[in-house]
Amino acid sequence: MSLNESKNLAESTIEHEYYSWFPYGYQSGKTKYIVVTGSVMSGVGKGTFSGALATLLSCHGFKVSPVKFDGYINYDAGTLNPFRHGEVFVLEDGTEGDLDLGSYERALHRNLTKDNYLTGGKIFKTIIDKERAGKFLGRDVQFIPHVTGEIKNFLRQLAMKSDADVVLVEVGGTVGDLENSYFVEAMRELRYEEGKDNVMFVNVTYIIEPNSLDEYKSKAAQLGLRQLLTLGVQPDMIVCRSQTPIPNSVKEKISGFGNVPLSRVYNLYDFSNIYEIPLALRDLSLDKELFSILNISPKENDDTLLNFKTWEKFLNKVENANKEIVVGIVGKYTNVHDSYLSVLKSLEHAAPYFDTKVKVKWIEAGDIEDGKTKVEDALKGVDGVIVPGGFGKRGIEGKIAAIKYVRENNIPYLGLCYGMQMAVVEFARNICGLKTAQSTEINPDTECPIIDIIPEQKDILEKSNMGGTMRLGSFSAKLKPGSLVRKLYDKDVITERHRHRWELNPEFHETLEKNGMSLSGIYEKRNLCEFIELPKNKFFVATQAHGEFTSRPLTPSPLFMGFVQACVNQ
């Protein structure tokens, strides 16, 4: 903290009731803020809308920096169960975030950082650390002004660090949740301090259509808007989500009840192709209304990657694809498809470039392991198989059985993180003759620890320090000349993102290679294997990394491009 900042903070806590200091050099009005809230229910589509809006604004030439706020007290998403929260998305700097951060990166075709993610836990830890250090100079620390002030400071710091034209704030959860009420209050204060031309609110609500009535009912949406107004927030726009187009009469009710002009009430019903949404928002003139509210004008877009022309070209590929492939995903969280959201999106990104669409066949690894489903029945009709990341013992023998089947039947295979580890275990057992091969994650006392924990991770586990301590973020890999992955990436050295503790034990590298497995990518600093492949198969590639985290519509992951092409050829 600089001297000027420290003085400003001290003055705000002793001489004034405000705790809303402005970072040194900050200029009000230079950055505009768009705050997206949700009402009626969670999962209403705030993240999808926010991502589409980010794409639209980027195509108009604006530099957008998004923020996702999650009200839970966890410091980050790293310890959350996929069954409860879906995928944990890892940023380049190692931040473990909400899956909406992945939506933002894919929408903007740009890497984000820890500064684009905020949780209740992160806010409270910051405040407690300051209080313990005596930063508040004897004041009683309160939600207002201290918690709300810290939130506003976080956003203003982001505006300066990113040099953003627009900071796009998505408030997690639903209006009325206790856990996000203080954040909504902070946004109200932000508008008060920055001015109405600089901060706008968009409420995404849901219009229900009970099957028993066969008509839309807007009362739930009206109550959600009332809750927002009660909190002192007047929305500037309302986005009505629904399954099918709603009648104008419903929009009129929402307009009157929310005190929002009818021209700023929009209906986004379910799209079969979410990549249409940015252009659909433009067709609805939502962008023009937004420009009017914030008193801004479109800029000249000099981005050769993300612009209206390239987006329309990609959308045309998606809409005109006339082939279909079936990809089996063998996992342990298959009942919650959001657990594998980035994998699904990576397939969507790659498929149009081969004039195809992807149909996913979900295969529960536990059913194969328990004998409920025969592996040949589970994989019947698939053109390729992916085994994605995961943790723990449940379902691993089912994954291994599936990998053995695709290897022996020459079906295209892509393994991601745990999918690489299990591919190594299967190969070691059935080709190298190491019948007891196992991961020490599953059996710490195994005679053949072909997958083992690295020493620093062992120390971490012994101290029971779980949060944010895995091998996280981007790491490099030197690719073997002549290998398939070298051909796919067209580079000698690449980087991909990681999230794991266990590694392929270097003591077994030579044995695997002697028996026909190519260790085609190595993190040279630690002699850790990053990629394996079986040259005798049409496509059998696995990586310790998560290649799905860096895939984007206009720049698909090389691994998924190669996999989809192999499936099409299959």
pLDDT in tens, the chain (570 residues): 443 444 454 444 455 666 666 888 899 999 999 999 998 888 788 999 999 999 999 999 999 999 999 999 988 888 887 777 789 999 999 999 999 999 999 999 999 999 999 999 999 999 999 889 888 877 888 888 889 999 999 999 999 999 999 999 999 988 888 889 999 999 999 999 999 999 999 999 999 988 777 788 899 999 999 999 999 999 999 999 999 899 999 999 999 999 999 999 999 998 889 999 999 999 999 999 999 999 999 999 999 999 999 999 999 999 999 999 999 999 988 887 888 999 999 999 999 999 999 999 999 999 999 889 999 999 999 999 999 988 888 889 999 999 999 999 999 999 999 999 999 999 999 999 999 999 999 999 999 999 998 877 777 776 666 677 788 999 999 999 999 999 999 999 999 999 998 999 999 999 999 999 999 999 999 999 999 999 999 999 999 999 999 999 999 999 999 999 999 998
Q: Is 546 a catalytic residue?
A: yes
- The model's pLDDT over 434-452, given as tens digits with 9 standing for 90+, comes to 999 999 999 999 999 999 9
Task: Count other Cβ atoms within 10 Å, centred on residue 391.
Answer: 16
8 A C-beta contact, residue 533 and residue 520: yes
Q: Is 548 a catalytic residue?
A: yes
Q: Parallel, antiparallel, or unpaired for β 384-387 and 528-533?
A: unpaired
Q: State the virtual CA torsion across 543, 545, 548, 551 in degrees, nearest 10.
A: -100
User: Which two tokens mark 536?
Assistant: 């005798």
Render 294-318 in DSSP notation, one character per residue. HT--------SSSSHHHHHHHHHHH
Catalytic residue among 189, 369, 548, 567: 548
User: Which two tokens mark 548?
Assistant: 């799905």
Residues of the chain with CATH 3.40.50.880: 321-569
**Domain 321-569 architecture:** 3-Layer(aba) Sandwich (3.40)
Name every residue whose Cβ is closer than 8 Å to that of residue 272 and which is 6 or more positions away in sequence: none
8 A C-beta contact, residue 90 and residue 110: no
Catalytic residue among 417, 432, 529, 567: 417
Using CB atoms within 10 A of its CB, is residue 501 exposed (0-12), middle (13-18) or buried (19+)? middle
- The model's pLDDT over 41-54, given as tens digits with 9 standing for 90+, comes to 887 889 999 999 99
List the CATH code of the domain at 3-25+34-309. Answer: 3.40.50.300
8 A C-beta contact, residue 413 and residue 330: no
Residues of the chain with CATH 3.40.50.300: 3-25+34-309
Using CB atoms within 10 A of its CB, is residue 345 exposed (0-12), middle (13-18) or buried (19+)? buried
8 A C-beta contact, residue 340 and residue 87: yes
Percent of the chain with pLDDT over 90: 76
Catalytic residue among 170, 530, 546, 567: 546
Using CB atoms within 10 A of its CB, is residue 139 exposed (0-12), middle (13-18) or buried (19+)? middle
- The model carries a pTM of 0.92
